[in-house]
């Protein structure tokens, strides 16, 4: 599993883990219907506690990105062809807005913001 944790980061370990798993799914490195490693094995790999990995998995389940099958394991959900649900879209916008406002305050204009957004998309999907 291609994951790297920064223990000293201000970002919680379980969030780092969830984010990196999301990126791996977005990039196609791991695909829908694939099983994620068990919480115990991944925890051992990363040198963190089992409960921390468990928490990351449950964050992804809340977002409907994976499905946790009790007593069995976690599986990546298929990407909805209908796009995000209203709730998902609202949350994305809620978190996107302050970042965009900050970019504007830094002197970026619409073109620049769309440009770096575009480059990040390429980075994820082609990287």
Q: Shortest CA distance to 77 belongs to which of 67, 63, 87?
A: 67
Q: Could you give the angle at the alpha carbon of 40 between the alpha carbons of 35 and 45, nearest 5°?
A: 90
Q: Which does 19 bind (CB under 5 to 8 A by kind): DNA, its own copies, none?
A: its own copies
Please select the residue that binds its own copies; options are 34, 65, 68, 71, rule is CB under 8 A: 65
> Nearer Cβ to its own copies, position 50 or 61?
61
Torsion of CA 101, 107, 111, 112, to 10 degrees: -90
Beta strands in 1-89 (DSSP E): 66-69, 73-76
Please select the residue that binds DNA; options are 48, 60, 65, 76, rule is CB under 7 A: 48
Q: Which residues bind its own copies (CB under 8 A)?
A: 19, 22-23, 25-27, 63, 65, 79-85, 88-89, 92-93, 95-108, 110, 112-114, 116-118, 120-121, 123-125
């Amino acid at each position: 599993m291609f994951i790297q944790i920064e223990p000293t980061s201000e970002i919680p370990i379980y969030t780092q883990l969830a984010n990196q798993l999301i990126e791996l799914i977005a990039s196609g490195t791991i695909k829908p219907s694939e099983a994620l490693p068990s919480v115990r094995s991944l925890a051992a790999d990363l040198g963190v506690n089992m409960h921390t990995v468990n928490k990351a998995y449950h964050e992804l389940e809340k977002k409907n990105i994976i499905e946790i099958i009790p007593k069995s394991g976690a599986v990546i959900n298929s990407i909805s062809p209908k796009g995000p649900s209203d709730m998902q879209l609202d949350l994305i916008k809620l978190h996107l807005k302050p970042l965009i406002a900050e970019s504007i305050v830094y002197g970026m204009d619409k073109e620049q913001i769309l440009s770096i957004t575009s480059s990040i998309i390429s980075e994820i999907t082609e990287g």
